[in-house]
C-alpha cells in the first residue's frame, strides 16, 4: 500500500519538478514514511529523481550556455566535482546528525524557494560576477546539491543571472547543471547500503511519468499556483520535521 502511495506521490513530484520545482519536498517525507531514516530517504530520492532531471536538462540543452567568463565545459567540471564532494560528505554524516540537520535544510530550501518565487524582482541581483566568483558560487551550490539538493534551482538561477545570463538562459543552464551535479552524486550513492532499490525504482517510474505529463502541461497551468503548492508543502514539511527531530 505504501509503495502505491509512493508511486502517485512521485508522479506529483515529477510533474512539480517539470513545472515549478520542489519535487523533493514531496518524495523525502514519503520515503521516510516507508520506514527509512532521513539520510537514506535523501539518498534514495536523489537517485530516483535523477532520470527525470536528465530528461529535462537534455530537452533544454540548446539554450544553455557558459556564464561569467566560464565555458559550459568548465561549469560541467565544477558541478561534477562539487556534487561528488557533497555526496561524499553526506555518506560520512552520521544518520542521527543528518536527521537533526534535515529540518534546517528544508527550512533553508523553503525560504530560498519562497524568495525566488514571490519576492525577487526580475531586475534584482544583476551585479556581474567575475569568473572566479561565478566558479566558486557554482562549486558551493554543487556541494550543497550533492549533500541535500533542495532549493538548488533558485540558487543556481540567482548565481547565473548575477554572472550575466538572462533568466530564460539561466533556467535552461540550471536544468543541465542540476543533472550534471547529481550524476556524480548518484554514481556514489549507487554503492551506498542506504539506497533502497525497491522504493527508488517505484519513485523513478512515477517521477518519470509525472515529469513527461508536467512538461506537456507546462504552458497550461499557472506557475505561481504550483510554486505556492511547493511553499505550502515546504512549510508543513519543515514543521513536521522539527516536531519529529530527535
Q: Which of 14-18, 121-125, 228-232 has the least mean pLDDT?
A: 121-125
Burial 84-100 (b: 16+ CB within 10 A, else e): bbbbbebbeeeeeebbe
| Higher pLDDT pick, 49 / 56 | 49
Query: Is a pLDDT exceeding 60 seen at residue 238?
Result: yes
Grouping H, G, I as helix, E, B as strand and the rest as coil, residue 39 is helix
Buried b (16+ CB within 10 A) or exposed e, 35-74: ebebbbbbbbbbbbbbbbbbbbbeebeeebbbbbbbebeb
CA distance 62 to 76: 15
Is residue 70 helix, strand or coil?
strand
How large is the C-alpha radius of gyration of the chain?
17
Phi/psi at 150 (5° precision): -65, 125
More confident residue, 74 or 16: 74
pTM score, two decimals? 0.81
Is pLDDT larger for residue 234 or for residue 4? Answer: 4
Tens of pLDDT, residues 1-32 = 789 999 999 998 888 777 666 788 889 889 99
Q: Which of 204, 181, 208 is nearest to 81 (CA)?
A: 181
Q: Please tell me the distance from the alpha carbon of residue 49 to that of residue 46, in angstroms, as a whole number.
A: 6
- pLDDT at residue 218 tops 70: no
Are 87 and 185 spatial neighbours (Cβ–Cβ below 8 Å)? Answer: yes
Q: Are 68 and 129 in contact (CB under 8 A)?
A: yes
What share of the chain has pLDDT > 70, as a percent? 89
Any idea what the Cα angle at residue 40 is, between residues 34 and 45, rounded to 5°?
80
The three grid cell numbers given for residue 70, joined into one nine-digit string:
566560464
Residues 80 and 75: their CA atoms lie apart, in Å, by: 9
pLDDT tens figures, 133-172 = 889 999 999 999 899 877 777 788 778 878 877 767 777 7
Amino acid at each position: 500500500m505504501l509503495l502505491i502511495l509512493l508511486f502517485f506521490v512521485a508522479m506529483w513530484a515529477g510533474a512539480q519538478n517539470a513545472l515549478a520545482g520542489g519535487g523533493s519536498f514531496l518524495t523525502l517525507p514519503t520515503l521516510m514514511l516507508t520506514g527509512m531514516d532521513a539520510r537514506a530517504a535523501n539518498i534514495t530520492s536523489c537517485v530516483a529523481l535523477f532520470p527525470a532531471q536528465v530528461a529535462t536538462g537534455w530537452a533544454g540543452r540548446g539554450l544553455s550556455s557558459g556564464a561569467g567568463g566560464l565555458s559550459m565545459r568548465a561549469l560541467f567540471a565544477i558541478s561534477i566535482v562539487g556534487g561528488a564532494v557533497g555526496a561524499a560528505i553526506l555518506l560520512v554524516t552520521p544518520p542521527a546528525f543528518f536527521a537533526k540537520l534535515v529540518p534546517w535544510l528544508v527550512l533553508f530550501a523553503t525560504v530560498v524557494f519562497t524568495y525566488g518565487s514571490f519576492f525577487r524582482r526580475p531586475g534584482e541581483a544583476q551585479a556581474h560576477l567575475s569568473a572566479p566568483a561565478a566558479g566558486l558560487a557554482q562549486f558551493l551550490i554543487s556541494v550543497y546539491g550533492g549533500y541535500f539538493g533542495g532549493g538548488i534551482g533558485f540558487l543556481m538561477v540567482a548565481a547565473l543571472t548575477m554572472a550575466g545570463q538572462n533568466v530564460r538562459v539561466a533556467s535552461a543552464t540550471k536544468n543541465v547543471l542540476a543533472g550534471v551535479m547529481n550524476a556524480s552524486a548518484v554514481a556514489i550513492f549507487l554503492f551506498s547500503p542506504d539506497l533502497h532499490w525497491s522504493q527508488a525504482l517505484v519513485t523513478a517510474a512515477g517521477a518519470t511519468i509525472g515529469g513527461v505529463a508536467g512538461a506537456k502541461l507546462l504552458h497550461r497551468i499557472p506557475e505561481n499556483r504550483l510554486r505556492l503548492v511547493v511553499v505550502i508543502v515546504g512549510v508543513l514539511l519543515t514543521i513536521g520535521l522539527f516536531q519529529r527531530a530527535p
